[in-house]
Chain A
Amino acid sequence: MSDETPMDIDYVANLARIELSDEEKSTYQKQLGDVLKYFDKLQQLDVEKVEPTAHAFPRHNVWDKDEPRTGLPVKEALKNAPQSRQDQVVVPKVIEE
């Protein structure tokens, strides 16, 4: 856990899809190491027989009426896209040739 090895910041930043500078990496690694130490309180807790809480007042099988509703028009939905063409978002090529 946290006291065994420091967080592998390159691995986790990649999971979070956030590019960090070298300076950010060393600052965050230290700061997050301290936060993880603070989290150790949780490790000492006996919670084996406790059910987890995802929501304070969980609701199950929430259904809406099966009635058609107008959605956002394509032009509106694309208004905030950084690049779009022919009513679609433009992205760099993802399939290799």
Chain B
Amino acid sequence: MSNNSPIFKTATELSQDLQGGTVTSVDITQAMIDRIDAVDEQVHAFLHIDKEDALDQAKASDDRRAKGESLSPLDGVPVGMKDVIAVKDQPLTAASKILENYRSPYDATVVRKLKDAGAVVAGRLNLDEFAMGSSTENSAYGPTRNPWNLECVPGGSSGGSSAAVAAREVPLTLGSDTGGSIRQPASLCGVVGMKPTYGMVSRYGLAAFASSLDQIGPFSTTVEDAALLLEIISGHDSLDSTSYPTEVPNYSAELKNSSEPKVLGLPKEFFGPGMDDEVRASIDQVIEYYRSIGYQTKEVSLPTTDLSIPVYYVIATAEASSNLARYDGIRYTSRSERAENAIDVYAKSRGEGFGAEVKRRCILGAYALSSGYYDAYYLRAQKARTLIRQDFEKVFAEVDAILTPTSPTPAFKFGEKSEDPISMYLSDVYTISTNLAGLPGISVPCGLSSSGLPIGMQLIGKAFDESNLLQIANAYDREHLHGRQVPNL
């Protein structure tokens, strides 16, 4: 395939090419479909792609452009959706058997915003069932494979969203991040992935996992592209009562302004045992680079770090057990044929429809909320969550952002952690506390390991300070562009 093919370009470049008239949206969308046909049998990032609908949207975009009525810089650029984000009349399975035949009757707010901006919303991307997992092995429709090494996991839960961008099947995708589900797969697949501040992006139309932690966010090959997509999907929405009423800056324009060197915090608890040597070496190089352009780094402490995984799994499973009660075999899921009474409809439909990890988490959540245990688990975890938030508040009085690896190791092999829930949970150790504190975080690729697997760094910012976070991330990314490296497929 020619290097000039649209699939090797960033969304920003495609946007410029579309405006310059050197390519059409139909060209781009057709190239994307051809690429999916060529490589997705190996990668399995997509659960579904409505090619006809994608090309219709592309044609409509080209017609608008011909009349001088383009809607935004993303008009005509394809964007793929994690299969938990509702697109009217398209399937939404959440990678679960229980939603096998579901079709969304409405658009999620992020999808409506993208359609209003003229983007080609195309493709349903694989994930761990209901976003519960860190490897995409929990999909009822088979795992996604890492484009850098097909024997390795792509990370998760948004593994389809990260692998599709890494494999150059689509330039931009959306995922959701509850404890690292955007940043960890972005890191393992060598692309950029960002979780915005809680409340920055509407959750309306996102199949809920843990409502106080979930956020939708972008995947891309560059930080510049992430800014472009984030500014379109962000903003207050009256359909989500946790959406925050705040102005959305023009992130991509602000990236072009030169920014002063900043102060980066290095939390000592993150740089302890458990971190792979090559990951550490790679992060050391990132630290060196920032120092070389005038940034200061400072050791900081987040003493509650070791609490974050137990706190997260109590809160997330409790919220999940409530949220997933709606999949009851009554209104919009498959119903067990063995059900004879009302309780049967619930228990048998859920027993047949849910996979192992979803069952485990719903049961654990029901336990944490049950009479006699609520104070010991759920209430305690909510109080510990306050301590975690306060740790970050103290650190952010001294620094502009926190720099850590995104994941303690590069991508692991299939089956390596799938039988041991705790070892899988520990792969989110660097990302989870960000969700508990509601803060924005971004994973930026920072090189390859000796075995050719991507390594990512994470930057955590102050609440609603995406603009600075993106500028800091871009100060590294625009000079390195590791996300533009293409895996051999």
Judge: A and B partners, yes or no.
yes
Residue count of chain A within 8 Å CB distance of chain B = 50
User: What does the 1/0 interface line of B94-124 toward A look like (CB < 8 Å)?
Assistant: 0000000111011000000000000000000
Would you call the interface of chain A mostly helix, strand, loop, or mixed?
loop
- Does B382 lie within 8 Å of A81, measured CB to CB? no
- Does A57 lie within 8 Å of B387, measured CB to CB? no
Would you call B74 an interface residue if the criterion is a C-beta within 8 Å of the partner chain's C-beta atoms? Answer: no
- Does A19 lie within 8 Å of B370, measured CB to CB? no
- Does A53 lie within 8 Å of B359, measured CB to CB? no
Q: Which of A7-34 contact B (CB under 8 A)?
A: 7, 9, 12-20, 24, 28, 31-32, 34
Contacts of A7 in B (CB 8 A): 367
Known: A16-B366, A80-B105, A91-B345. A41 touches B307 (CB 8 A): yes
Checking B329, B342, B381 against A82 with a beta-carbon cut-off of 8 angstroms, the contacting residue is: B329
Would you call B341 an interface residue if the criterion is a C-beta within 8 Å of the partner chain's C-beta atoms? Answer: yes
Contacts of A18 in B (CB 8 A): 347, 350-351, 354, 359, 362-363
- Does A39 lie within 8 Å of B314, measured CB to CB? yes
Would you call A85 an interface residue if the criterion is a C-beta within 8 Å of the partner chain's C-beta atoms? Answer: no
- Does B376 lie within 8 Å of A41, measured CB to CB? no
Known: A17-B325, A17-B347, A52-B385. A43 touches B380 (CB 8 A): yes
Would you call B379 an interface residue if the criterion is a C-beta within 8 Å of the partner chain's C-beta atoms? Answer: yes
User: What does the 1/0 interface line of B420-454 toward A look like (CB < 8 Å)?
Assistant: 01100000000000001111000000000000000
- Does A56 lie within 8 Å of B437, measured CB to CB? yes
- Does A54 lie within 8 Å of B359, measured CB to CB? no
User: What does the 1/0 interface line of B380-396 toward A look like (CB < 8 Å)?
Assistant: 11111111010000000
Would you call A86 an interface residue if the criterion is a C-beta within 8 Å of the partner chain's C-beta atoms? Answer: no
Known: A35-B421, A52-B386, A80-B103. A16 touches B310 (CB 8 A): no
Known: A42-B314, A56-B463, A80-B332. A91 touches B342 (CB 8 A): yes
- Does B310 lie within 8 Å of A38, measured CB to CB? yes
- Does B334 lie within 8 Å of A50, measured CB to CB? no
Among B199, B325, B352, B366, the most chain A Cβ lie within 10 Å of the Cβ of B366
Checking B343, B345, B348, B384 against A45 with a beta-carbon cut-off of 8 angstroms, the contacting residue is: B384
Q: Which of B303-319 contact A (CB under 8 A)?
A: 306-307, 309-311, 313-314
Would you call A76 an interface residue if the criterion is a C-beta within 8 Å of the partner chain's C-beta atoms? Answer: yes
Q: How far is the CA of A54 from the CA of B214 in the complex (A)?
A: 13
Residue count of chain B within 8 Å CB distance of chain A = 73
Q: How far is the CA of A47 from the CA of B382 in the complex (A)?
A: 10
Known: A39-B314, A51-B383, A82-B334. A15 touches B105 (CB 8 A): no
Contacts of B383 in A (CB 8 A): 45, 47, 50-53
- Does A17 lie within 8 Å of B330, measured CB to CB? no
Q: How far is the CA of A64 from the CA of B309 in the complex (A)?
A: 36
- Does B421 lie within 8 Å of A31, measured CB to CB? yes
Contacts of A12 in B (CB 8 A): 363, 366-367, 370
Chain B contact residues, CB within 8 Å of chain A: 101-103, 105-106, 197-199, 212, 238, 241-242, 244, 306-307, 309-311, 313-314, 321, 325, 328-335, 339-348, 350-352, 354, 356, 359-360, 362-367, 370, 376-377, 379-387, 389, 421-422, 436-439, 463
13 A/B residue pairs, CB under 8 Å, sorted by A: A12-B366, A15-B370, A16-B362, A19-B351, A28-B359, A35-B421, A53-B436, A55-B438, A81-B330, A81-B331, A81-B332, A92-B341, A94-B341
Across the A-B interface, the 6 shortest Cβ-Cβ residue pairs: A56-B438, A19-B351, A52-B382, A80-B332, A47-B383, A82-B335
